[in-house]
């Protein structure tokens, strides 16, 4: 084996063993983009067949307007249909969407229309 081939093999092996996070991500990983004009204080993601929202995935953080957050799943999660709920920081009002196929959606952009007082989401 040439020194170049040996070095390439070593680099590949290091990448496989030194980045376990990349191998542990689920197919449902997605990004939430906040285009509402308001900060979002809480984001909840729950399997569609669950009655419980679980914990706020932002923790102590706030998703500011014009910002985005990546949401990663454990590879062991197999469900594709999930619900999403956000809480606005200014008045604690909620907006939610049900039965999002996170096996096909990678970005969810949330918007708010002041004239209609409605939150909407686009999925791509």
Confidence of residue 2 (pLDDT cuts 50, 70, 90): low
Cα 36 to Cα 32, 106, 117: the distances in Å are: 12, 19, 11
63-86 confidence digits (pLDDT tens)? 999 999 999 998 888 999 999 999
Q: Looking at the whole model, is its pTM more than 0.85?
A: no
16-59 confidence digits (pLDDT tens)? 444 444 444 678 999 999 999 999 999 999 999 999 998 999 99
Classify domain 26-123 by CATH number.
2.60.40.2890
pLDDT at 9: 43
Q: Do residues 42 and 79 lie in contact, with contact meaning Cβ atoms separated by under 8 Å? A: no
């Amino acid at each position: 084996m040439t020194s170049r081939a040996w070095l390439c093999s070593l680099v590949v092996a290091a990448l496989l063993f030194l980045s376990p996070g990349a191998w542990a991500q689920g197919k449902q990983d997605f990004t939430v983009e906040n285009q509402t004009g308001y900060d979002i204080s809480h984001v909840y993601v729950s399997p569609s067949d669950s009655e419980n929202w679980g914990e706020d995935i932002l923790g102590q953080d706030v998703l500011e307007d014009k910002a985005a957050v990546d949401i990663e799943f454990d590879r062991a999660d197999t469900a594709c249909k999930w619900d999403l709920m956000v809480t606005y920081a200014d008045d604690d009002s909620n907006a939610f969407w049900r039965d999002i196929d996170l096996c096909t959606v990678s970005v969810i952009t949330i918007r708010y229309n002041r004239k209609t007082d409605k939150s909407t989401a686009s999925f791509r």
